[in-house]
Amino acid sequence: MADDHSHPQAKRIYELVIKLEHMVKEKTGGTAGTDGHSKKAPVPLIGFHSEKLAVAFGMLNTDGGEIVVIKNLRVCGDCHSFLKTVSAIANRAFLVRDASRFHRFEGGACSCKDYW
């Protein structure tokens, strides 16, 4: 359920998402747009979308390897850019199945070649 913090690891999960958001802003210079292209305005912290929470949970509870996320809605531009950058920062691969296709994020790139 949206904004549910009842999970025993909720505090750690949300803290990791915030930490990753700051690392992404730092790596992109705070100027990456949701489409991955440079913009002049700084990127605000967008929010705690389900794929960000799922990836944070996976990172906290696994020692390596690919993290798989399945969702029934399309990945938004912010999350797509976020997952690309985090895959490079964390040196992890993320396989995300959204309503349209599979996205495999690894090394700062997505298998969809930013066409989704």
pLDDT tens by residue, 66-112: 999 999 999 999 999 999 999 999 999 999 999 999 999 999 999 99
pLDDT tens digits, 18-31: 999 999 999 988 65
> Where along the chain do its domains lie?
10-110
Q: What is the DSSP string of 36-48?
A: SSB-SSPPPP---
Terminal-residue alpha carbon distance, the chain: 26
pLDDT tens digits, 26-61: 998 865 444 444 444 444 556 799 999 999 999 999
Query: In sequence order, which residues have a C-beta less than 8 Å from that of residue 111 and are 6 or more positions away?
Result: 102, 103, 104, 105
